[in-house]
Amino acid sequence: MPDTVAPTGPLNRPSILLTGATGNLGRAVVDRLVERDVHVRCLVRGRPAPRPGVDWVAGDLTDPADVRGALPGVDAVFLIWPLLDSAPAHEVVKELGAAAPRVVYLSSTAIDDSAPRQSDPIVQVHADMEVLLRDAGLRPVVLRSDTLASNARGWAAQLRAGDEVSGPYVARTAVVDERDVADAVVAALLAPNGHLNPGPHLLTGPTALTRADQVAQLGAALRRPLRYRTLPAASARARMLADGRPAALVEALVTASERRPESHRVTDHLERLTGRPAGPFSRWAADHAPEFD
């Protein structure tokens, strides 16, 4: 457990606690907050390299004591829940309720508010977390994100070996650039109190895409004729397990591939939060093409 962190910096300087700060989206959020001279505190496992403007607090998000130690002086928390089970979050949410910061929670556009149960375990845990945060009286700002463009980074090894990406069937969705989502997160974290609707805000890209569409657009950026091959569930499961993914996550992904419906929904919620429209996946592909060579 880390020592309790004392508030730092000028009294009028916002202090934000981030979870998931070392992931694709989290890094983008950190960058934007540092640029705005916000005091950034990140609860992380391990010890990332020192960075001006960022306090790395070693701890486990699922440990209430670690969360309690990271909360003093914090004005807002960006919460990404990393587990496929919301049960360990109950005590953590109690700590958030005691500290009473603004909470911005990253959820999923795949939630069906009319359904008693969600399509798969990944969506279900997001729905459970939203209820848990609301029931704790935190009035969270809920950002429901569609599929992040940065998930395509998982194809890099296959594309370095050839011109084909293979994987499970994934329903069409309006893939959204994680940099745009990061802008929305920052807007939610820094909005004046009472000036932001709690949502849910549905963050989508401008066009609904299949995985084949994404691979084709990535191929255009790489100037290579790429293709996507859909694997049967059993083959997809074996491939993901061989790649070293945790078994529980693999089962959740296979269930999602079998049960999650297509979505053609495109919203302007991201533009309302940030003041500019969401960028296309083709832009993301062009900007990140060197990562796939």
For 87-118, the pLDDT digits (tens) are 999 999 999 999 999 999 999 999 999 999 99
Which residue did the predictor score with more confidence, 255 or 7? 255
- Is pLDDT above 80 for 236? yes
Position 218 in a domain: no
- The β-bridge relationship of strands 164-168 and 201-203 is unpaired
Torsion angle (degrees, nearest 10) of CA 283, 187, 53, 285: -10
Count the Cβ atoms, other than its own, within 10 Å of residue 258. Answer: 13
Q: Over 70: is that where the pLDDT of 10 sits?
A: no
Q: What is the mean pLDDT of residues 77-95?
A: 97
138 phi and psi, to 5 degrees?
A: -85, -15
Q: Mean pLDDT over all residues of the chain?
A: 93
Say how many domains are in the chain: 1
The pTM (predicted TM-score) of the whole model is 0.93
Per DSSP, 77 falls in state E
| SS3 state of residue 130 | helix
In a domain, 249, yes or no: no
**71 lies in some domain:** yes
Domain membership of residue 217 (yes or no) is: no
Total count of residues recorded for the chain: 293
> What pLDDT score does 284 carry?
98
pLDDT band, residue 195 (cuts 50/70/90): confident
* Residue 63, in any domain of the structure: yes
Token digits of residue 237: 């499961």
Q: What is the pLDDT of residue 281?
A: 98
Q: How do residues 246-277 score in pLDDT, each as one tens digit?
A: 999 999 999 999 999 999 999 999 999 999 99
DSSP string, 186-251: HHHHHSPTTSS----EEE--SS-B-HHHHHHHHHHHHTS--EEEEEPHHHHHHHHHHTT--HHHHH
Taking the C-alpha atoms of residue 168 and residue 191, their distance in angstroms, rounded to an integer, is: 39
Distance CA 11, CA 30 (A): 20
Q: What is the pLDDT of residue 239?
A: 84
Answer whether residue 193 shows pLDDT above 90: no
pLDDT at 194: 66
Residue 247 lies in a domain: no
Q: Which of 140, 69, 136 is nearest to 102 (CA)?
A: 140
β-partners of residue 107 are 144
Residue 194 lies in a domain: yes
CATH of the domain at 130: 3.40.50.720
User: Rounded to whole angstroms, how far apart are CA atoms 178 and 148?
Assistant: 6
Closest CA to 192 of 100, 102, 264: 102
**Pairing between β-strand 201-203 and β-strand 227-231 as defined by DSSP bridges:** unpaired
- pLDDT surpasses 90 at 280: yes
Q: Is residue 168 one of the residues assigned to a domain?
A: yes
CA neighbor of 164 nearest in space, from 93, 105, 239, 90? 239
What are the tokens at 118?
A: 């969600």
Q: Is the model's pLDDT at 2 over the cut of 60?
A: no
Residue 274's domain comprises: 15-208+262-292
